[in-house]
Structure 1
Amino acid sequence: MKVFKFGGASVKDADGVKNLRNVVQNTGTTNKVVVISAMGKTTNALESVINTYSQTKNIDLHEVVNYHRVIMEGLFPNTSHEVYKKVTVLFQEIENFLRTNKSLNYDYVYDQVIVYGELISTTIVSEYLKNEGIENTWLDARNLIKTNDAYREGKVNWELTSSNISDQITMSSLYITQGFIASDENNFSTTLGREGSDYSAAILAYCLHAHDVTIWKDVDGVYNGDPKVFLNTQKLEEISYTEAIELAFYGASVIHPKTLQPLQKREIPLYVKSFYKPNEEGTVVKRGGAKIKPYVPCFIVKNNLVLISLSAIDFSFFVEENISEVFALFHQHQIKVDLIQNSAISFSVCVDNKYNRLDELILKLKSKFKVSFNKDVSLYTIRHFNTGAINSIEKGKTILLKQLTRETVQIVAKQES
Structure 2
Amino acid sequence: MKVFKFGGASVKDANGVKNVATVLKSEGFDGCMLIVSAMGKTTNELEIVIEKYINKENFNVEIALIKEKHVQICSELFEKNHSAFSELDGIFDKIEHFFRENNSTDYNFIYDQIVSFGEIISSKILSLYLNVAGFKNEYLDAKNFIKTDSNFRDGIVNWIETEERIATLNKTQNFVTQGFIGSDLNANTTTLGREGSDYSAAIFAYCLNAEALTIWKDVPGVMTGDPRKFEDTTLLSNISYEEAIEMAYYGASIIHPKTLQPLKQKNIPFFVKSFLKPSEKGTKVSVSEINLKEETYILKENQHLIHISTKDFSFIAENHISLIFNILSKLKIKVSLMQNSAISLALCFDDPFKNKNFLIDELQEQFRLEKIENVSLFTVRNTNLTNIEKFYKNKDILLEQISRGTLQIVAK
Residue 270 of structure 1 aligns with which residue? 270
Letter of the 1:29 counterpart: F
1:349 matched to which residue of 2?
347
> 1:128 & 1:389 partners in 2: Cα distance?
53
| Whole-angstrom CA distance in 2 between matches of 1:110 and 1:152 | 7
1:170-209 correspondence to structure 2 within 5 Å: 170-209=170-209
What corresponds to 2:148 in structure 1?
A: 147
Tell me the equivalent position of 2:20.
20
Q: Does 1:376 align with 2:374?
A: yes
Distance 1:389 1:131 in 2: 57
Number of the residue aligned with 2:46: 46
1:273·1:280 contact (CA, 8 Å) conserved in 2? yes
- The residue type equivalent to 1:397 in the other structure is K
Residue 133 of structure 1 aligns with which residue?
134
For residue 12 of structure 1, report the CA deviation from its aligned partner.
0.4
Check 1:119–1:388 CA distance in 2 against 1; reply closer, same or farther (3 A cut). farther
Instruction: Give 1:75-86 correspondences, 5 Å limit.
Output: 75-76=77-78, 78-86=79-87
Following TM superposition, by how much is the alpha carbon of 1:332 offset from its aligned partner in structure 2, in angstroms? Answer: 2.6
Cα distance per residue 1:55-105 (max 9 Å; x no partner): 1153320121111111111111x2221100001100110110011100011
Partner Cα separation in structure 1 for residue 105 and residue 290 of structure 2: 51
Tell me if structure 1 keeps the 8 A contact 2:311–2:368.
Answer: yes
Q: CA deviation at 1:154?
A: 0.7
Please give the alpha-carbon distance, in whole angstroms, between the structure 2 residues aligned to 1:203 and 1:65: 30
**Aligned twin of 1:210:** 210
Partner of residue 302, structure 1: 300
CA distance in 1, matches of 2:31, 2:354: 44
Asked if the contact 2:333–2:350 (Cα under 8 Å) also holds between the matched residues in 1, the reply is: yes
Contact 2:142–2:177, Cα closer than 8 Å, also in 1: yes
Q: Displacement of 1:315 after TM fit? A: 1.3
8 Å Cα contact 1:380/1:393 also seen in 2: no
For residues 27 and 82 of structure 1, the distance between their equivalents in structure 2, rounded to whole angstroms, comes to 28
Per the alignment, residue 122 of structure 2 pairs with 121
Partner Cα distance (2:372, 2:219) in 1: 34
Q: Contact 1:384–1:407 (CA<8 Å) still a contact in 2?
A: yes
The 8 Å contact of residues 26 and 279 in structure 2, kept in 1 or not, is answered as no
1:377-416 alignment to 2 at 5 Å? 377-386=375-384, 390-414=388-412
RMSD between aligned alpha carbons? 1.3
CA separation in 1, counterparts of 2:387 and 2:21? 41
- Aligned partners of 2:24 and 2:386: how far apart in 1? 43
- How far is the alpha carbon of 1:133 from its aligned partner? 2.2
Deviation at 1:388, TM superposition (A): 8.3
Q: CA deviation at 1:398?
A: 0.7
> Shift of residue 307 of structure 1?
1.0
Q: Say which is worse superposed, 2-11 or 358-367, in terms of deviation.
A: 358-367
Q: How many pairs are equivalent?
A: 410
Structure 1 residue 347, shift from structure 2 partner: 1.1
For 1:158 and 1:367, how far apart are their aligned partners in 2?
Answer: 39
Compared CA separation, residues 147 and 398, structure 1 to 2 (3 A): same
**Amino acid paired to 1:318:** I
Other-structure match for 1:103: 104
Which amino acid counterpart does residue 34 of structure 1 have in structure 2? L
Unmatched segments (≥5 aa) in structure 2:
none
* Structure-2 separation of matches of 1:326 and 1:4: 40
Cα distance between partner residues in 1 of 2:220 and 2:213: 16
Alpha-carbon deviations, 1:117-136, whole Å to 9, x = none? 11110111111111122211
Instruction: Determine if the alignment matches structure 1 residue 323 to structure 2 residue 321.
Output: yes
Quote how far apart the aligned CAs of 1:115 are: 1.1
* 1:290 Cα offset (Å): 4.1
Correspondence for 1:67: 69
Alignment TM-score, normalising by the size of structure 2: 0.97
Give 3-state SS (helix, strand or coil) of 1:276's partner.
coil
Q: Secondary structure at the match of 1:194?
A: coil
- 1:206 Cα shift? 0.5
Query: Contact between 1:10 and 1:16, CA under 8 Å: does it hold in 2?
Result: yes
- Residue identity over aligned pairs, in percent, reads 48
- Counterpart CA distance in 1 for 2:160 and 2:221 is 33
Is the contact between residue 224 and residue 299 of structure 1 (CA under 8 Å) also seen in structure 2? yes
Instruction: Report if aligned partners of 1:138, 1:176 keep a CA contact under 8 Å in 2.
Output: yes
Change (3 A) 1:117 1:389: farther
Instruction: Go from structure 1 to structure 2 and tell me whether the alpha carbon gap of 1:100 and 1:389 turns closer, same or farther (over 3 Å shift).
Output: farther
Alpha-carbon separation, structure 2, partners of 1:289 and 1:58: 58
Residue type of the alignment partner of 2:366 = K
- For the 8 Å contact 2:339–2:347, the answer to whether it is kept is yes
Separation in 1 of the partners of 2:360 and 2:103?
Answer: 32
User: Following TM superposition, by how much is the alpha carbon of 1:369 offset from its aligned partner in structure 2, in angstroms?
Assistant: 1.4
Normalising by structure 1, report the TM-score.
0.96
Q: Deviations over 1:253-279 (max 9, x none)?
A: 111100000000000000000011111
Secondary structure of the residue that 2:4 maps to in structure 1? strand
The amino acid that maps onto 1:360 is F
Q: Secondary structure at the match of 2:271?
A: strand
> Could you say which residue in structure 2 is the equivalent of 1:3?
3
In the other structure, the counterpart of 1:362 is 360
Is this contact kept in 2: 1:59–1:95, CA < 8 A? no
Find the aligned partners of 1:128 and 1:185 in 2 and give their Cα distance: 32
